[in-house]
């Protein structure tokens, strides 16, 4: 098979090293294409049925449904989701961006296929039945899983697996919003939490590949209808700052409501899902605009076609409903609803300014767009991704300065004044998990053990003839690996110690080639060793040494054979060189 061929073995071995840019670019193209196709299928599974049966063949026209349908539709969706989930183990129900972060932090980026399928069908059911959730969070999980599964199927090193997850995430955001650069920044800022040249390039390639696929299918138009936007006067800067503060308050409340719902509601899964459906149906009696993606509502708001009373009602309804249903377990996303809430907040704010001050300003659409960026930056703790998204969605550089101001104010207020990290990290902490990215972890996670391991060794039995020992030493290995039985290394020792012992015995008693040596009795420095897979990162190697209280490992290849050795000194020397 291709993945076991000699050429691919070399390809895979190169990926364990830091300078493997050509190989990573190729994998970026593949992961971008696969993730893009999967996200395209996800969008079509949602759009085609909705266009078929919603009024006017509009995939977002939940408002056109009769009231009784709007009530029972989310309930029916909750029942369908329950049927999908109720026989699954709790570990198989984990989905979304939080699940991706957990697998990156605790499982080297190995995302299970079963969770990906649960996300695909669970989110599709939720969106088809009008739940107040988004598709971007599920798309991120699906894209990340596509990248991870490519690496798992090809048995690539785990340091590459982490980067492939980032490629899949960038491709997913690019395919969901048609914003390739924002996808790259979101992946680096929120998921990988680092910026490196080697990491940036394949992620960028993956995002562009997915964007090209989506543009061929859907065209180049933005997800929203956006008017021309520009700040009219520097006198509006205090208004922009105030909007950032308001969005920060709403973002902090959104995070708190969702996390507290997750922590405090311990009802059975079925009850939580049914309550979610009932709440959505109840709110949809008066505000059907909260159902589904709501992109049509955002476009209306950006055009300034909504009344103040409607905006205020939608703001309260969406802001309360979405974090509650997500906290209760509906398998949807929160990025789209975050943009929805931000747009309505900005539009409401602009209309209130005009009503109370009587002064002209830059327009409802302008402040709605700023609200979208500020809310996204504050909830996700991703200010740069939010700013790039504003720029790509509007195609207007005039949005950069006021956008930066609103986003920085909102993000800073939430992060430092309310002491709240992103909603994803808050959810992880609510589960008793952490997503640490210390410098040591980052550096050691970028390289595989194959890039540092020592391949100069000779395997021998514990008991060996003196002549065989001399032949082993003539190969000038750096380590002698002692096996309890063939193929099972147990210790390793320095060849110099054995050479010294043989020389000393020869001087005292003469050289006897038939003499049997017990290498465990020879005075020498020996290290106990245990196995570690060749796909592991240096971080995994150090963790294994610490957990086993050892200072060395033997590295096994995919055929379970020894292919190298690794000592704690080698890992520490590598890290010291990197920080010097």
- What's the pLDDT at 436? 64
Least confident of 21-35, 265-279, 537-551, 564-578: 564-578
pLDDT category, 2, cuts 50, 70, 90?
A: very low
Query: Radius of gyration (Cα) for the chain, nearest Å?
Result: 29
Nearest-angstrom CA–CA distance, 32 and 11: 19
- What's the pLDDT at 1? 43
For residue 417, is pLDDT > 90? no
For residue 406, is pLDDT > 60? yes
For residue 424, is pLDDT > 50? yes
Looking only at the bridges linking them, the beta strands covering 463-465 and 552-556 are: unpaired
For residue 437, is pLDDT > 70? no
- What's the pLDDT at 331? 97
Contacts of 44 (CB under 8 A, 6+ apart): none
Q: State pLDDT tens for residues 368-377.
A: 999 999 999 9
- Degrees, nearest 5: CA angle 305-250-134: 65
| 143 CB burial (10 A radius; 0-12, 13-18, 19+) | buried
Q: What is the mean pLDDT of residues 179-190?
A: 94
Looking only at the bridges linking them, the beta strands covering 516-518 and 463-465 are: antiparallel
- Please compute, for residue 235, the number of CA atoms within 13 A of its CA located in the half-sphere on the CB side: 8
Cβ 109 vs Cβ 322: under 8 Å: no
Give the 3-state secondary structure of 404-473: HHHHHHHHHHHHHHCCCCCHHHHHHHHCCCCCCCCHHHHHHHCCEHHHCCECCEEEEECEEEHHHHHHHH
Q: What is the mean pLDDT of residues 132-161?
A: 95
pLDDT category, 4, cuts 50, 70, 90?
A: low
* Choice between 483 and 233, residue whose per-residue pLDDT is larger: 483
Residue among 1, 139, 441 at smallest CA distance from 147: 139
Residue among 423, 465, 447 at smallest CA distance from 262: 423
Q: What is the mean pLDDT of the chain?
A: 91
pLDDT category, 504, cuts 50, 70, 90?
A: confident
Cβ 565 vs Cβ 553: under 8 Å: yes
For residue 3, is pLDDT > 50? no
Q: What is the mean pLDDT of residues 459-474?
A: 90
By percentage, how much of the chain surpasses pLDDT 70?
96
Q: Tokens standing for 43?
A: 């969008």
Cβ 29 vs Cβ 209: under 8 Å: yes
Element at 532 (helix H, strand E): strand 530-533
Query: What domains are defined for the chain?
Result: 2-223 (1.10.3080.10), 234-430 (1.10.3080.10), 444-579 (3.10.580.10)
Least confident of 23-27, 456-460, 503-507: 503-507
- What's the pLDDT at 484? 78
For residue 132, is pLDDT > 60? yes
Q: What is the mean pLDDT of residues 142-167?
A: 95
Q: State pLDDT tens for residues 378-399.
A: 999 999 999 999 999 888 888 9
Q: Taking the mean position of all CA atoms in its chain, how far away is CA 45?
A: 23
Least confident of 321-335, 344-358, 368-382, 447-461: 344-358
Write the CA distances from 471 to 456, 462, 485, integer angstroms: 15, 15, 20
Q: State pLDDT tens for residues 449-461.
A: 999 999 999 999 8
């Amino acid at each position: 098979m291709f993945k076991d061929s000699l050429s691919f073995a070399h390809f895979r071995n190169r990926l364990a090293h830091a300078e493997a840019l050509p190989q990573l670019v190729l994998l970026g193209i593949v992961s971008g294409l696969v993730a893009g196709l999967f996200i395209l299928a996800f969008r079509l599974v949602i759009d085609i049925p909705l266009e078929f049966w919603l009024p006017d063949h509009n995939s977002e026209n939940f408002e056109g449904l009769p009231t009784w349908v709007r009530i029972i539709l989310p309930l029916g969706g909750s029942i369908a989701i329950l049927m999908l989930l109720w026989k699954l183990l709790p570990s198989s129900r984990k989905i979304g961006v939080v699940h991706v972060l957990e697998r990156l932090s605790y499982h080297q980026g190995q995302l299970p296929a079963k969770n990906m399928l649960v996300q695909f069908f669970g989110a599709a059911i939720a969106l088809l039945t009008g739940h107040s959730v988004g598709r971007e969070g599920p798309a991120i999980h699906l894209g990340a899983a596509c990248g991870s599964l490519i690496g798992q199927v090809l048995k690539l090193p785990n340091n590459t697996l982490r980067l492939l997850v980032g490629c899949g995430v960038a491709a997913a955001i690019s395919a969901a919003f048609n914003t390739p650069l924002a996808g790259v920044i979101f992946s680096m800022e929120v998921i990988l939490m680092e910026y490196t040249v080697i990491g940036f390039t394949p992620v960028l390639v993956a995002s562009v590949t997915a964007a090209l696929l989506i543009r061929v299918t859907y065209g180049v138009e933005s997800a929203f209808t956006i008017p021309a936007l520009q700040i009219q006067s520097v006198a509006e800067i205090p208004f922009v700052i105030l909007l950032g503060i308001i969005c920060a308050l709403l973002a902090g409340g959104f995070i708190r409501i969702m996390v507290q719902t997750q922590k405090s509601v311990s009802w059975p899964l079925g009850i939580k899902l049914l309550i979610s459906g009932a709440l959505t149906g109840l709110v949809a009696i008066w505000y059907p605009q909260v159902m589904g993606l709501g992109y049509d509502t955002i476009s209306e708001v950006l055009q300034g076609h909504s009344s103040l009373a409607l905006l205020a009602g939608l703001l309260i309804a969406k802001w309360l409903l979405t974090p509650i249903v997500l906290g209760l377990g509906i398998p949807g996303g929160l990025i789209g609803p975050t943009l929805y809430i931000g747009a309505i907040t900005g539009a409401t704010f602009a209309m209130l300014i005009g009503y109370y001050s009587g002064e002209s300003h830059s327009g409802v659409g302008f402040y709605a767009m700023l609200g979208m960026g500020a809310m996204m930056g504050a909830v996700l703790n991703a200010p740069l991704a939010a700013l790039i998204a504003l720029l790509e969605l509007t195609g207007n550089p005039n949005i950069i300065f006021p956008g930066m101001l609103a986003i920085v104010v909102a993000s800073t207020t939430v992060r430092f004044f309310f002491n709240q990290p992103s909603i994803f990290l808050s959810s992880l902490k609510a589960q008793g998990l952490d997503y640490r990215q210390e410098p040591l972890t980052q550096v050691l996670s970028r390289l595989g053990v194959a890039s540092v391991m020592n391949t100069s060794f000779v395997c021998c039995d514990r008991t060996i003839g003196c002549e065989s020992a001399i032949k082993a030493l003539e190969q000038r290995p750096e380590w002698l690996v002692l096996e309890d039985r063939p193929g099972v290394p147990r210790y390793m020792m320095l060849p110099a110690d054995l050479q010294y012992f043989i020389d000393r015995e020869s001087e005292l008693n003469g050289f006897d080639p038939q003499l049997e040596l017990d290498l465990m009795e020879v005075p020498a420095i020996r290290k106990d060793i245990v196995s570690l897979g060749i796909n592991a990162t240096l971080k995994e190697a150090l963790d294994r040494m610490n957990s086993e209280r050892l200072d060395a490992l033997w590295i096994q290849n995919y055929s379970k054979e020894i292919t190298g050795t690794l000592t704690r000194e080698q890992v520490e020397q590598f890290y010291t060189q990197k920080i010097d």
